[in-house]
Amino acid sequence: MRGPHNIWRLIRTGATFERTGAMRVVLEALQAPAPLRAAAHVIGWPFRWLGYKGDPSMPPVTRALTALGPAYIKFGQILSTRPDVVGPDLATQLQVLQDKLPPFSTDAAKASFERETGATTDQTFSTFSDAVAAASIAQVHRATLRDTGHEVAVKVLRPGIERAFRRDVDAFYFAARMIEFLLPFSRRLRPTDVIRHFEGVVMGELDLRLESSAAAEFAQSTEKDAGFRVPSVRWDLSGRRVMTLDWAEGIAISDLAALDAVGHDRRALGERVLQVFLSHALRDGYFHADMHQGNLKVAPNGDLIALDFGIMGRIDEYTRRVYAEILYGFISRDYQRVAEVHFEAGYVPADRDIDQFARALRAVGEPIFGMDATRISMARVLAYLFEVTEQFGMQTRTELILLQRTMVVVEGVARSLDPQINIWNVAEPVVEGYIKDNIGPRALARDFARTIRVLARFGPRLPQLAEDALIRQNNPTPEPKPKRGNSPALWAGLGAGCATIAVLVIQSF
């Protein structure tokens, strides 16, 4: 489906933004220059009739995104967590995209449950509510199990959602390829790879069996985390388009008035959101990658409850160590070390000047320290970082896209709870603890033990491998191998094997 016909889809996107008034609101929120706003209006106005009308009762941007479809709604969900980027008014308007979209019928949800599980809703549940939350991909119903009386949450995919997402993703692919063709300098950002990564994430979110598996794994990896909870999966009542979890009672983290009314400490909650995310990403390499306000609740006892596990992130141990060193370098203001890590990891081409790169990083980091948190503009910081990456030829790291995006979202959630929060101060103990455990003597000892375990699996083969190596060295032409167990070369081979182990262990350091 990826072809020129997607031009029509992109034209309708721009026309929808113009028709609903969203174009003006977005450009004003982003503080676009007046000439650019005027030009956008002049170009877009003749085509506005081609755009979708949307729901006139909604604010302009929300109206445009909901009319355009689920992929655009996902984008709006991210922006809703960034009042420092789009402004508090627009961020508040976009929060309805998280879990307050128009639901589909309860009868359709029941029918989907019965098709997926083979059980009837009347026999399984004593109560089955209308939708209590409706998002871009699925909606949730509260139900009571007839046999035990336990309350559960039943998540059901929207009808036809797979086709709708495919249509949007196809248009994004076309736009990415057009950008790469028309703007060659953009290729270093690998827009097509970014869309491919987004596609993989979204397709995984459209199979609730995978989400059930992710929820179970996440619950297992975080079961010892104080103040953090993941609901248990009901596997017998779940399938590809339906997932059933234990019901999690709590207050939506976006309901600040309710949190204040019952006495929850919003500053502590904001710090916990940031710290649990960093802990999961660095310690486990497995983290919730969609932590907007609609997916977080606060339990009566103050525990943070995570919901919606359709988008999870995973990073390998080496990348975690690199990421931690970069974060810690910024926190400790050691920009030279941050630059060195970028070069060591291959993030910056080796032919660039490391000292110049360190100076550029200092220009990014220094304005943040000592500044009132409310005066820090992440939009300006990100804009300058983009200039630095362009100057030094850095390419987009697709394996870090989810981590970087989630970091932006999580910071936005924390800032909504406490506008004075300082991400660096909150992150320091988590990152410092990870550094001590994974980039020091303790980590070297652990790496040594892992190396020995790997080599031990080859233990039974070492004598023969060493003997074969010696034979090849002393006899260039193939000869029959001497019998194992009675050759002096065997003992020499064992010595060579031990020497090989020693070399590999030294290299592991």
Question: What does the pLDDT look like over 359-372, one tens digit per residue?
Answer: 988 887 787 666 66
Could you report the per-residue pLDDT of 178-229, keeping only the tens digit for each? 777 776 656 665 778 767 777 777 777 789 999 999 999 999 999 999 999 9
Residue 79 CB-half CA count within 13 A: 22
Question: Is 52's pLDDT higher than 50?
Answer: yes
Rounded to two decimals, the pTM is 0.70
In sequence order, which residues have a C-beta less than 8 Å from that of residue 34 and are 6 or more positions away? none
81 to each of 88, 253, 329, how far by Cα in Å?
10, 12, 26
Q: What burial letters (b/e) apply to 94-108, b meaning 16+ CB within 10 Å? A: bbbbbbebebbebee
pLDDT value, residue 495: 42
Q: Are 323 and 232 in contact (CB under 8 A)?
A: no
Longest dimension (CA), the chain: 92
Q: How far is it, in rounded angstroms, from Cα 18 to Cα 53? A: 10
Among 363, 358, 318, 331, smallest CA distance to 342 is for 358
Q: 414-463 pLDDT, tens per residue?
A: 888 998 887 778 888 888 888 877 766 666 676 677 777 776 776 677 77
Residues 255, 325 contacting (CB under 8 angstroms): no
Which of the residues 84, 290, 308, 418 is marked catalytic? 290
Contacts 24+ apart (CB under 8 A), 111-118: 112/156, 112/157, 112/159, 112/241, 112/242, 113/154, 113/156, 113/237, 113/242, 115/241, 116/238, 116/239, 116/240, 116/241, 116/242, 117/236, 117/237, 117/238, 117/239, 117/242
Residue type, 47: F
Phi, psi angle pair for 180, to nearest 5°: -65, -35
Return the higher-pLDDT residue of 349 and 296: 296
Q: What is the pLDDT at residue 385?
A: 61
Q: Kind of pairing, strands 125-134 and 242-246?
A: unpaired
- Please say if the pLDDT value at position 351 is more than 60: yes
Polymer length of the chain:
509
Residue 290 designated active-site: yes
Write out pLDDT tens, residues 393-410. Answer: 776 565 666 777 788 788
